[in-house]
């Protein structure tokens, strides 16, 4: 490697950028996605159709898109962070006005050839916008409450729109990822405590005036799944049966009775982890979790090794988002949190989540490639 720390990164050639790419990280992503392909093949009863084949194509396209994002100049993202945010926000509003209902919630918008869920894209857009905002604020300024109002609005507006769709899972993810960024950016602890107390106090209001019936039902079901064994509780009970019956070594690939006999709901999407753990047991579940932990570890280290604050916050935001996907999904299928409809990243069937995650990882790669670039606090990228 010919570069040194004083080397002006923006002048890197494409070849150099590719050389700086975190290839091990990309291999990890491919391995994880392959686990997904295998499980989708099993979910279809030993068939590439209808899920595995399409997922492979999507992942291939997604990883290509990720590579393209990775080699862009990070200052471009810094400069256009708000633009991206407002485009996605506009899409969210469009969903509110013209979107169509799928699976009981108004989440989708048609972009001609394919449909997207703007709320998914918002997970990354919020991270971008917040990273840009906190990048421009000094360690002293962060103490000033008035300066916390804009970032709070950046989070609250889309969160409110997404909750209205209604999509509790995505709202929670956007809000929690944002809290992570606020925290990493250095907002004082007592402020979180204050917001927490206010949040708890307003919970009853939310319960009665904001949450929809089905969301309340899901939370009630979570608290006591056995109360409704054939209704909402059925999913979580069957999921636990599938997991538990898998035991330590599982029932064997393509041999999961709960999944293959359709006792397991949504086995190709939200409950795919259950299927994996039924067929490969505790060993299989831990192996996938280990893959995720390694990815998270690299995400962290990329974020920490960046020499510009935008890159750090962006990397951290993407990593936190990825973590939230993993944690909420697995905790959900094991009955630790309510079923809120969060897919297992890279493994669950679904295009938009894949797009979001690979978009996020594209930015993470970009941070990695530009790790040695220093960007001034006031240098918002408009005039580098």
Residues binding another protein (CB under 8 A): 138-139, 180, 183-186, 238, 240-248, 257-258, 260-263, 277, 281-282, 285-286, 289, 293, 296, 300, 303-304, 309, 312-313, 316, 320, 323, 327, 330-331, 334-336, 374, 377
Specify the residue for token string 């091990």.
Answer: 24
Decide: 186 and 139 in contact? Cβ < 8 Å: yes
CB atoms within 10 A of CB 197: 10
Q: Reduce the DSSP state of residue 116 to 3 states and report it.
A: strand
Residue 368: how many CA atoms within 13 Å on its side-chain side? 29
Residue closest to 157 by CA, chosen among 129, 132, 185, 180: 129
Residue whose CB is less far from another protein, 142 or 162: 142
Report the 3 state secondary structure along 157-218: HHHHHHHHCCCHHHHHHHHHHHHHHHHHHCCCHHHHHHHHHHHHHHHHHHHHHHCCHHHHHH
Tell me how far apart the alpha carbons of residues 112 and 293 are, in angstroms, rounded to a whole number: 37
Say if residue 296 is exposed, middle or buried (CB neighbours under 10 Å; 0-12, 13-18, 19+). Answer: middle
Decide: 154 and 133 in contact? Cβ < 8 Å: yes
Q: Where are the alpha helices (DSSP H) in 46-148?
A: 52-70, 74-98, 118-135
Specify the residue for token string 């997922």.
Answer: 55
Q: Reduce the DSSP state of residue 244 to 3 states and report it.
A: helix
Specify the residue for token string 């408009």.
Answer: 382
Q: Reduce the DSSP state of residue 109 to 3 states and report it.
A: strand
| CB-based burial, 206-236: b 16+ in 10 Å, e otherwise | eeeebbeeebebbbebbeebeeeeeebbebb
Q: Is the four-CA dihedral 301, 129, 124, 183 of positive or negative sign? A: positive
Say if residue 21 is exposed, middle or buried (CB neighbours under 10 Å; 0-12, 13-18, 19+). Answer: middle
């Amino acid at each position: 490697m010919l570069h040194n720390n004083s080397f002006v990164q923006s002048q890197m050639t494409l070849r150099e950028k590719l050389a700086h790419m975190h290839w091990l990280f990309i291999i990890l992503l491919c391995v994880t996605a392959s686990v997904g392909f295998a499980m989708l093949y099993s979910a279809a009863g030993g068939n590439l159709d209808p899920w595995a084949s399409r997922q492979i194509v999507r992942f291939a396209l997604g990883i290509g898109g990720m590579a393209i994002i990775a080699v862009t100049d990070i200052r471009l993202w810094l400069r256009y962070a708000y633009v991206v945010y407002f485009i996605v926000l506009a899409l969210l509003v469009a969903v509110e006005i013209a979107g169509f209902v799928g699976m009981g919630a108004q989440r989708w918008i048609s972009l001609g050839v394919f449909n997207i869920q703007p709320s998914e894209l918002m997970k990354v857009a919020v991270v971008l916008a917040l990273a840009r905002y906190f990048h421009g604020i000094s360690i002293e300024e962060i103490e000033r409450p008035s300066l916390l109002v804009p970032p709070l609005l950046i989070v609250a507006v889309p969160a409110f729109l997404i909750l209205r769709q209604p999509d509790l899972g995505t709202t929670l993810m956007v809000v929690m990822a944002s809290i992570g960024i606020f925290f990493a950016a250095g907002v004082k602890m007592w402020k979180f405590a204050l917001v927490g107390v206010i949040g708890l106090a307003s919970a009853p209001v939310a319960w009665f005036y904001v949450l929809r019936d089905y969301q309340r039902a899901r939370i009630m079901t979570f608290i006591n799944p056995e109360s409704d064994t054939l209704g909402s509780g059925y999913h979580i009970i069957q999921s636990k049966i599938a997991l538990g019956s898998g035991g330590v070594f599982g029932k064997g690939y393509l041999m999961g009775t709960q999944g293959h006999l359709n006792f397991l709901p949504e086995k190709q999407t939200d409950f795919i982890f259950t299927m994996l753990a039924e067929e490969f047991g505790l060993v299989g579940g831990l192996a996938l979790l280990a893959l995720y932990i390694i990815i998270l570890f690299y995400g962290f280290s990329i974020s920490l090794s960046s020499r510009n604050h935008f890159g750090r916050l962006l990397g951290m935001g993407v990593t936190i988002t990825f973590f939230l996907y993993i944690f909420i999904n697995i905790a959900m299928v094991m009955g630790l949190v309510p079923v809120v409809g969060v897919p297992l990243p890279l493994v669950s069937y679904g295009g938009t989540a894949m797009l979001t995650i690979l978009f996020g990882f594209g930015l993470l790669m970009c941070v990695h490639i530009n790790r040695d670039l220093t960007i001034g606090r006031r240098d918002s990228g408009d005039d580098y």
